[in-house]
């Protein structure tokens, strides 16, 4: 597609359950990023994939969070044993891999843990 696609757009889950969030980047974009945005807040960096390099996981808040990117394209962010503080909008972005080109963001997945 022409843009970054994220699914689901909304997810309500019970505390303690695992969730998977999906991101389909723009074709040809080598870099893929996951961010988290809590209500009324800025963007919190989570993880970054660039080509075949090892991912930059420096933003993951705990070992309950993990992500993979298969075939250099689709990425899945997994949150295990969800907690209420995980409730947020999870945004995915892709880029051509240089900061000057900017990022293209998806519309996000709104995760609510009840």
Partner 1 sequence: TQLLEQSPQFLSIQEGENLTVYCNSSSVFSSLQWYRQEPGEGPVLLVTVVTGGEVKKLKRLTFQFGDARKDSSLHITAAQPGDTGLYLCAGGFMNRDDKIIFGKGTRLHILP
The span from the CA of 48 to the CA of 93, in Å, is 9
The half-sphere exposure of 104 on its side-chain side, counting CA atoms within 13 A, is 20
* Among 24, 25, 108, 111, contact with partner 1 (rule: CB under 8 A): 108
The DSSP line for 22-86 is EEE--TT--EEEEEEE-TT---EEEEEEETTSPPB-TT--STTEEEEEGGGS-EEEEE-S--GGG
Cβ proximity to partner 1: between 64 and 74 the closer is 74
Q: Which residue has the tokens 């963001």?
A: 105
Query: What is the pattern of x (binds partner 1, CB under 8 A) and - over residues 50-69?
Result: x-----x-------------
Q: Is 40 in the site for partner 1 (CB under 8 A)?
A: yes
Q: Which stretch binds partner 1 (CB under 8 A): 14-22, 42-50, 65-73, 80-88?
A: 42-50
Least Cβ distance, residue 79 to partner 1 (angstroms):
19
Least Cβ distance, residue 29 to partner 1 (angstroms):
12
23 contacts 74 by C-beta, under 8 angstroms: yes
Binding site for partner 1 (CB under 8 A): 4, 31, 35, 40-43, 45, 48, 50, 56, 91, 93, 95, 97-108
């Amino acid at each position: 597609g022409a843009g970054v696609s994220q699914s689901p757009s909304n997810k309500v889950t019970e505390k303690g359950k695992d969730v998977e969030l999906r991101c389909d980047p723009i074709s040809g974009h080598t870099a893929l990023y996951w961010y988290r945005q809590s209500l009324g807040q800025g963007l919190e960096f989570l993880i970054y994939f660039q080509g075949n390099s090892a991912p930059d996981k420096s933003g993951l808040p705990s070992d309950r969070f993990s992500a993979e990117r298969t075939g250099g394209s689709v990425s899945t962010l997994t949150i295990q044993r969800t907690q209420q503080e995980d409730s947020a909008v999870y945004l995915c972005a892709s880029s051509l891999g240089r900061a000057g080109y900017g990022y293209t963001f998806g519309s996000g997945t709104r995760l609510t843990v009840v």
